Amino acid sequence: MYIFLYYFVKSYKNERIWWKELGVKVVKFGGSSVADGLQLVKVKEIIESDPERRYVVVSAPGKRFNEDSKITDLLFMCKAQAENNIPYEQLFQVVSDRYNAIRYNLDINVDLDEHFAEIMEQMEAGCSEDYIASRGEYLSAILIAAYLGYDFVDTKGLILFDKKGRLLAEETNEALSAELAKHDRAVIPGFYGSYKDSGEIKVLSRGGSDVTGSLVARAVNADIYENWTDVSGLLMADPRVVDNPKPIESISYMELRELSYMGASVLHEEAVFPVRLSDIPINIRNTNAPEDPGTIITTESNYDKNKVLSGIAGKHPFTVITIYKNMMNKEIGFVRRALAVLEDLDISFDHIPTGIDSLSVVIESSEIEDSLDEVIEAFNQRLHPDEITVVPDIALIAVVGKGLSNSIGVSAKITAALADAGINIRMLNQGATEINVIVGVEAKDFKAATRAIYNAFVS
Ligand code: ASP
Considering the entire predicted model, what is its pTM?
0.84
Quick one: which atom of ligand 1 is closest to the CA of 209?
8
β 250-252/295-298 pair status: parallel
Residue-level pLDDT at 430: 80
Instruction: Check if 209 has its Cβ closer than 6 Å to any atom of ligand 1.
Output: yes
Q: Is 192 in the pocket of ligand 1 (CB under 6 A)?
A: no
Same domain, 320 and 290: no
Q: Establish if 156 belongs to a structural domain.
A: yes
Single out the residue in 298, 328, 354 at which a domain terminates: 298
Based on the domain organization, do 266 and 357 belong to the same domain?
Answer: no
Domain range for residue 409?
A: 311-457
φ and ψ at residue 83, rounded to 5 degrees: -65, -30
* Terminal-to-terminal C-alpha distance of the chain: 52
CATH number at residue 53: 3.40.1160.10
134/71 Cα distance (integer angstroms): 10
Q: Is the CB of 314 under 6 A from ligand 1?
A: no
Q: Do 218 and 278 sit in the same domain of this protein?
A: yes
Distance 207 CA to ligand 1 centre (A): 4
User: Separation of 209 CA from ligand 1 center, angstroms?
Assistant: 6
| Cβ(136) – ligand 1 distance below 6 Å | yes
Is 59's C-beta closer than 6 angstroms to any atom of ligand 1? yes
Q: Give the domain-ending residue among 277, 298, 319.
A: 298
Identify whether residues 128 and 34 lie together within a single domain: yes
Residues 6+ apart with CB under 8 A from 424: 418, 441, 442, 445
306: in domain: no
Same domain flag for 273 and 347: no
Give SS3 for 140.
Answer: helix
170 and 39 part of one domain: yes
C-alpha of residue 124 to centroid of ligand 1, in Å: 24
Q: Among the atoms of ligand 1, which is closest to the Cα of residue 191?
A: 5
What distance in angstroms lies between residue 72's CA and the mean position of ligand 1's atoms? 7
Q: Which of 69, 130, 209 to mutate for ligand 1's pocket (most ligand atoms within 8 Å of CB)?
A: 209
Is 347 in the same domain as 372? yes
Rounded Cα distance, 36 and 110, in Å: 16
Q: What is the SS3 assignment for 195?
A: strand
Alpha-carbon span 63 to 266, nearest angstrom: 16
* Residues 143 and 269 grouped into a single domain: yes
- Pocket test of ligand 1: the residue of 191, 227, 266 to mutate, having most ligand atoms within 8 Å of its CB, is 191
Atom of ligand 1 nearest to the CA of 212: 8
Do residues 297 and 247 touch, judged by C-beta distance below 8 A?
Answer: no
| Residue 1 located in a structural domain | no
Separation of alpha carbons 47 and 145, rounded Å: 12
33 lines ligand 1 (CB under 6 A): no
Name residue 20's beta-bridge partners: 7
Q: Pick from 248, 275, 298: which residue ends a domain? A: 298
Tell me, yes or no, whether 304 lies in a domain. no
* pLDDT for the residue numbered 433: 67
Task: Name which residue sits closest to atom 6 of ligand 1, judged by CA.
Answer: 207
Paired residues of 442 in beta bridges:
394
Q: Where are the alpha helices (DSSP H) in 220-315?
A: 253-261, 272-277
Whether residue 268 sits in one domain with residue 321: no
Taking the chain (459 residues) in runs of 10, the rounded mean pLDDT of each run is 48 49 94 98 98 98 96 97 94 98 97 97 95 98 98 98 96 98 98 98 97 98 97 92 92 89 84 92 97 91 71 95 93 94 94 91 93 96 96 94 79 93 91 82 97 92
Atom of ligand 1 nearest to the CA of 206: 9
- Give the pLDDT confidence score for residue 89 in this predicted structure: 95
CA dihedral of residues 126, 132, 135, 136 (deg, nearest 10):
150
Ligand 1 centre from 66 Cα, in Å?
16
Cα 309 to Cα 16, 168, 272, 414, 423: the distances in Å are 41, 36, 21, 12, 21
Q: What are the b/e assignments for 38-63, b being 16+ CB within 10 Å?
A: ebbebbeebbeeeebbbbbbbbbbbe
Q: Which residue's CA is the nearest one to ligand 1's atom 2?
A: 207
What DSSP letter does each residue of 6-22 carry, written as one string?
Answer: EEEEEETTTTEEEEEE-
Structural domain contains residue 305? no
Q: In ligand 1, which atom is closest to the CA atom of 210?
A: 8
Candidates 57, 22, 24, 27; CA nearest to 284 is 27
Evaluate whether 194 touches 202 at the Cβ level (below 8 Å): yes
92 CB less than 6 Å from ligand 1? no
The ligand 1 atom at the shortest distance from the C-alpha of residue 30 is 7
Task: For the chain, give the number of residues.
Answer: 459
- Side-chain half-sphere exposure of 43, counting CA atoms within 13 A: 34
- Angstrom distance (rounded) from CA 123 to CA 312: 46
Residue 303 lies in a domain: no
- pLDDT score, position 83: 92
Residue 214 CB–ligand 1 contact under 6 Å: no
- Tell me if 326 is assigned to some domain: yes
From atom 8 of ligand 1, which residue's Cα is the shortest distance away?
207
For 212-253, what is each residue's pLDDT tens digit? 999 999 999 999 999 999 999 999 999 999 999 999 999 999
How many domains would you assign to the chain? 2
Tell me, yes or no, whether 265 and 330 share the same domain: no
* CATH code of the domain containing 433: 3.30.2130.10
At residue 130, what is the residue type?
D
Ligand 1 and 318: CB distance under 6 A? no
Tell me, what amino acid is at 419? A
From residue 198, give the alpha-carbon distance in Å to each of 120, 134, 163, 176, 388.
21, 16, 9, 18, 53
72 C-beta closer than 6 A to ligand 1: yes
* Burial zone of 192 (CB within 10 Å; 0-12 exposed, 13-18 middle, 19+ buried): buried
Query: What is the CB neighbour count within 10 angstroms for residue 405?
Result: 15
